[in-house]
Amino acid sequence: MNKFYLKNYVAFIKLCNQVRMAHPDNHYFMTDRILKIAHRGYSEKYPENTIPAFIKAIEFGADMIEFDIHLSRDGRIVVIHDDSIDRTSNGTGMVKDFTLNELREYDYSFNFGKGMIQIPTLEEVLELSAGKILLNIEIKNCPNNYAGIEKELVETLTKFDSIESAVISSFDHHSLLRMKGINRNIKTGMLYDSLWIKFREEIRELDVYSLHPGIDSAYTSELKWASDAGYKIYPWVAKSRKDMDLLAGTGWVHGIMVNDLRLFRQ
């Protein structure tokens, strides 16, 4: 954590201590207000970005699932985090170099011992989630730029009547602009892990619905400004109850991404 974030973090800790003294019985976490967001599904206990991880997140009571998308060689939207299949499957190679059928030949159980698990398509996730859970879909457009992925995504969401239940996020802010150009009603989320001088200007220009800061970037006055201005704040990724309490204690966080959903019950 650099000096800029450390200074904000220390100030934030002091604020939390003041709140604790004023409300000693308050656990600082309101599950009726802060969304329980399953990062890559229930990825602590099940293979990330797979149907089992999403099913278990729904069964646990998550409010939203976060997952990542790429395009296969034959133009199908598939759900996987990395731009290669090396880390999460028993195969090797870049996602963009395989057709969907070829990607389906590999096991994505990610050493969890859950048996053969195939890579999911976006359509399968939308069919599974319909009417059950909100969606946070991250377009993985870096370093590979998937031409046309935004158009394909909007068409698929429309087909499954999922526009209202989805937030589309990306580190590629040009991709967010393209999403808005296709459908102004799409809710977009700006992913980032550090602040910059024209932070507020870019938020306004992108016309986003939500901000998705890395956890080290969540303790700043800029996010209080954003929350006061009506933007939703969804930090990633809390890995301890201390993280959860600190984020909830800000008063400007609307949802928290976690790998381990049990943190919401501790």
Which residues carry out catalysis? 39, 81
| Alpha carbons 65 and 74: distance in angstroms, whole number | 26
